[in-house]
A and B are shown apart, each in its own frame.
Chain A
Amino acid sequence: MERSEEYIKNERKKEWRVELQKKTKAKDRMAIERVEMSEQDPNERIKSQRIEVNNGLTKEQAVKEAMRCMDCVNPTCMEGCPVSINIPKFIKNIERGEFGKAASVLKETSALPAVCGRVCPQEVQCEQKCFYVEKLNQPSVAIGYLERFAADWERESGEIAVPECAESNGVKVAVIGSGPSGLSFAGDMAKLGYDVTVFEALHEIGGVLKYGIPEFRLPNAVVDVEIDNLRNMGVKFITNFIVGQTASLEDLKEEGYKAFYVGSGAGLPRFMNIPGENANGILSSNEYLTRVNLMGADAEDSDTPVLRGKNVVVVGGGNTAMDSVRTAKRLGAERAMIVYRRSEEEMPARVEEVHHAKQEGVEFLTLTNPIEYIADDNGRVKQVRVQKMELGEPDASGRRRPIPMEGSEYNIDATVVVVAVGVSPNPLIPNSVEGLEVSKWGTIEVVKDKMQSSIPEVFAGGDIVRGGATVILAMGDGRKAAANMDVYLKEKYLSQKVEQ
């Protein structure tokens, strides 16, 4: 798993790579236009929560796109990857038709390549650092599409290679939470030879990948294959187990667990505390998406109910807001509306998600903010009172601050309102572990590059540390924590102490 500059350079000098470099001239590579991802027809895809929007690349498309990659001496793209994927190496494997090998390169450092190929914001990570963007001011190599292609090809081929794992060292470690951070951590620790058990509070493995991100963006079956891959590496999973409630950290220590990784996520939805917000029909994006994604409430044979409405308002401008509003459309809303207090430019959602939402007929009411909810006689919301906003000077986030415009208030009809204005860290772990240092926001305090908490054997990462970020940053934390926990455990339990 070494990622030194020298290793990368040596890999680049391998015979097959040199051959490819010589085979096609740089000029010819640059002449190829960036591939376009084909998509399901918006009018068709909104009929089901479970039709994936992006179709993926064909073999021909993938090979051609891989040819665009210049196999740079200094692959700056890798600097943009939180899990340090050897990007040129996997892309060049695609170019030479070795798709399985390309997938293996991904799995050297990423536990969830098919997931990352779908939900990572590559446009602000690896692709932003691509030679084409930095030096030519042209569209980057479609690294994300290629990542998805390689991972999908391997899955569909049925020949799924299990990454090489070191011989078992018998040291038990526990992972709390089976979201992207915990899975990434578990994968790296299994490779290092540890005996890894993942504890999950819900009845399904995957955390936000299952309850949060809808299947039209990330099919559950894709997530399950990645989880099976971890199982094949020896990782054990226990569902319906809440560390701190079902058993304490101390109980687990007695069971022989030597160290812990907390990746319990940002599980507490935020509300705006405006009048009428507890009326029926107003719910968090977490509740809405969990009912549909995890519990399958969009299907008639599910026992879990979900609210449907002709007019649905979703408050917020992030990816979760886009997931919610597009879900509303799929549940039959005639008007599915985003209400966001800044302008489209400041929206934290990926450009692709906003684009897809618009294709699907979602309305965007930007520079608009809810100030009150009006309920009917039965306590069910019927209208949202909103206020128009204008942008002022930039605030602490660097984005222009929204300022209310007096006298601009008006009402929007809606019988379902989904609040997607962010989440706070889940308090269960911080509250149940004595001596764990927690910030005033409720996030676990860690030594930054080590991910180690105030309790030496407890490491933490992902949203429980960051407060709310992306899948890939959570995965990066998992990798960092694994590398540092390995050092910690080797020192404590596995080093042969030399007698002086």
Chain B
Amino acid sequence: MNKIVEKENFSEKVVKIVVEAPLIAKARKPGNFVIVRVGEKGERIPLTIAGADVKKGTITMIVQKMGVSSQKLCALEAGDYVTDLVGPLGKPTEIHNVGTVLCCGGGVGVAPLLPIVEGYKKAGNKVITVLAARNKDLLILEDEMRKHSDEVIIMTDDGSYGKKGLVTEGMEEVIQREKIDECITIGPAIMMKFCSLLTKKYEIPTMASLNSIMVDGTGMCGACRVTVDGKTKFTCVDGPEFDAHKIDFDEMMSRLGGYKSEEQDKMDHFQE
């Protein structure tokens, strides 16, 4: 049982939760994730780590309401407990001083990108961050990103904030302007696919962090299978980050829908 010490509603669909987890706070590195379970009948779901406070012994998660499990988690308040929390899981991001790094985040994918941006900056890189959201209200962690980036470019679908357009438009502007040595992209699968296609054109090494379906998160179930360079990999123990240019994104997107109708049934049941 882990206590929620702070909760903030970023928007109707997106919630920030700070949870007591001293060991995870100490052990986690950029790129790691956790598995959370709410309630005795609860499902195990993977969630990214947006930050940690080693002194306070807490980690921060940013959760988007999607299915039953994320709804239940978002319904908890400060003072409540999550039933189970385990981690940190996955391989950490390989962060080196490479020169100029382009970090691209979309939607709640901005959350796990934050520790990576911090890491790249700390390692001495010039960090240019492109954040994308459907509209101004759905944009998260802008101030934190500005703190750790040399430049932040905001893209919104409706132009309500920053520039109007897709994340790739913001990226291409930067790529044409200056030499980019490495790129990392985290967000919806379709966004990562197009980021990857773009950087492939410019031959910029790119990593994408995947959010596959998982049960245990320790290599045991194989639900998180993804094809990378023609070989099957497990997102939980081989990833979650892979060479974006080698990921079969179409298969990955299809697999994200692997339990779609069953999840819908659970959702209908939940809302009754």
Q: Does B83 contact A (CB under 8 A)?
A: yes
Per-position binary interface string of chain B over residues 213-238, scored 1 when its CB falls under 8 Å from any chain A CB and 0 otherwise: 00110111111011100001010010
Could you say which of B86-94, B128-136, B150-158, B184-192 contacts chain A? B86-94
B residues less than 8 Å from A202 (CB atoms): 86, 216
B residues less than 8 Å from A49 (CB atoms): none
Partner of B262, one of A203, A279, A306: A306
Could you say which of A129-137, A286-294, A400-408 contacts chain B? A286-294
A299 to chain B, nearest CB (A): 8
A428 to B43, CA, bound (A): 23
A284 to B219, CA, bound (A): 11
Partner of B86, one of A201, A278, A280, A304: A201
Nearest B-chain residue to A246, judged by Cβ: B23
Nearest A-chain residue to B270, judged by Cβ: A303
Q: Does B42 contact A (CB under 8 A)?
A: yes
**Most chain B C-beta atoms within 10 Å of own C-beta, residue among A245, A290, A291:** A245
A422 to B192, CA, bound (A): 34
Q: Does B257 contact A (CB under 8 A)?
A: yes
A residues less than 8 Å from B258 (CB atoms): 280-281
A251 to chain B, nearest CB (A): 8
- Among residues 288 to 344 in chain A, which have CB atoms less than 8 Å away from a CB atom of chain B? 290-291, 295-296, 299-307
Q: A278-B255, A379-B257 are in contact. Are A290 and B87 (CB under 8 A)?
A: no
Q: Does A410 contact B (CB under 8 A)?
A: no
- Among residues 193 to 209 in chain A, which have CB atoms less than 8 Å away from a CB atom of chain B? 201-203
B residues less than 8 Å from A76 (CB atoms): none
**Most chain B C-beta atoms within 10 Å of own C-beta, residue among A278, A287, A303, A379:** A303
Could you say which of A5-13, A52-60, A265-273 contacts chain B? A265-273
Q: How many residues of A contact B (CB 8 A)?
A: 43
Per-position binary interface string of chain A over residues 222-246, scored 1 when its CB falls under 8 Å from any chain B CB and 0 otherwise: 0000000000000000011110011
A residues less than 8 Å from B263 (CB atoms): 305
Task: Report whether A305 and B225 are in contact in the complex, using a CB–CB cutoff of 8 Å.
Answer: no
Task: Report whether A239 and B84 are in contact in the complex, using a CB–CB cutoff of 8 Å.
Answer: yes
B255 to chain A, nearest CB (A): 6
Q: A246-B86, A269-B220, A303-B39 are in contact. Are A295 and B27 (CB under 8 A)?
A: no
Task: Report whether B219 and A267 are in contact in the complex, using a CB–CB cutoff of 8 Å.
Answer: yes
A residues less than 8 Å from B223 (CB atoms): 283-284, 287
A283 to B234, CA, bound (A): 13
Task: Report whether B72 and A303 are in contact in the complex, using a CB–CB cutoff of 8 Å.
Answer: yes
B residues less than 8 Å from A267 (CB atoms): 216, 218-220
A residues less than 8 Å from B72 (CB atoms): 303
B residues less than 8 Å from A211 (CB atoms): 216, 220
Q: Does B56 contact A (CB under 8 A)?
A: no
- Among residues 41 to 88 in chain A, which have CB atoms less than 8 Å away from a CB atom of chain B? none
Nearest A-chain residue to B220, judged by Cβ: A267
A residues less than 8 Å from B27 (CB atoms): 245-247
A335 to B63, CA, bound (A): 40
A243 to chain B, nearest CB (A): 11
B residues less than 8 Å from A287 (CB atoms): 215, 221-223
A residues less than 8 Å from B215 (CB atoms): 287, 290-291, 295, 304
A residues less than 8 Å from B43 (CB atoms): 295, 302-305
Q: Does B15 contact A (CB under 8 A)?
A: no
Q: Does B179 contact A (CB under 8 A)?
A: no
B residues less than 8 Å from A240 (CB atoms): 84-86
Q: Does B147 contact A (CB under 8 A)?
A: no
Q: A246-B87, A284-B222, A287-B222 are in contact. Are A303 and B259 (CB under 8 A)?
A: no
Q: Does B254 contact A (CB under 8 A)?
A: yes
A281 to B221, CA, bound (A): 14
B266 to chain A, nearest CB (A): 6
A residues less than 8 Å from B234 (CB atoms): 268
Nearest B-chain residue to A270, judged by Cβ: B222
Partner of B23, one of A247, A286, A302, A306: A247
Task: Report whether B259 and A305 are in contact in the complex, using a CB–CB cutoff of 8 Å.
Answer: yes
B residues less than 8 Å from A484 (CB atoms): none
A60 to chain B, nearest CB (A): 40
Q: Does A426 contact B (CB under 8 A)?
A: yes
Task: Report whether A303 and B42 are in contact in the complex, using a CB–CB cutoff of 8 Å.
Answer: yes
Task: Report whether A427 and B86 are in contact in the complex, using a CB–CB cutoff of 8 Å.
Answer: no
Task: Report whether A203 and B83 are in contact in the complex, using a CB–CB cutoff of 8 Å.
Answer: yes
Q: Does B177 contact A (CB under 8 A)?
A: no
A24 to B7, CA, bound (A): 74
Q: Does A477 contact B (CB under 8 A)?
A: no
B212 to chain A, nearest CB (A): 11
A237 to chain B, nearest CB (A): 14
A306 to B259, CA, bound (A): 8
B136 to chain A, nearest CB (A): 33
B residues less than 8 Å from A241 (CB atoms): 23, 86
B residues less than 8 Å from A269 (CB atoms): 220-222
Task: Report whether A295 and B262 are in contact in the complex, using a CB–CB cutoff of 8 Å.
Answer: no
A residues less than 8 Å from B193 (CB atoms): none
Task: Report whether A203 and B255 are in contact in the complex, using a CB–CB cutoff of 8 Å.
Answer: no
Q: A280-B257, A426-B220 are in contact. Are A305 and B266 (CB under 8 A)?
A: yes
Task: Report whether A290 and B216 are in contact in the complex, using a CB–CB cutoff of 8 Å.
Answer: yes
A441 to B223, CA, bound (A): 22
A327 to chain B, nearest CB (A): 15
- Among residues 100 to 136 in chain B, which have CB atoms less than 8 Å away from a CB atom of chain A? none
B96 to chain A, nearest CB (A): 20
Q: Does A277 contact B (CB under 8 A)?
A: yes
Nearest A-chain residue to B253, judged by Cβ: A379
Q: A268-B219, A291-B215 are in contact. Are A427 and B259 (CB under 8 A)?
A: no
Task: Report whether B222 and A283 are in contact in the complex, using a CB–CB cutoff of 8 Å.
Answer: yes
B residues less than 8 Å from A283 (CB atoms): 221-223
B61 to chain A, nearest CB (A): 15
Task: Report whether A303 and B220 are in contact in the complex, using a CB–CB cutoff of 8 Å.
Answer: no
B75 to chain A, nearest CB (A): 13
A245 to B27, CA, bound (A): 7
A74 to B222, CA, bound (A): 48
30 A-B residue pairings within 8 Å (CB atoms) = A201-B86, A201-B218, A211-B216, A242-B89, A245-B27, A245-B88, A246-B23, A246-B24, A267-B216, A268-B222, A268-B234, A269-B222, A271-B222, A273-B232, A280-B254, A280-B257, A281-B258, A283-B221, A284-B223, A303-B72, A304-B215, A305-B259, A305-B262, A305-B263, A305-B265, A307-B259, A378-B254, A379-B251, A379-B257, A427-B237
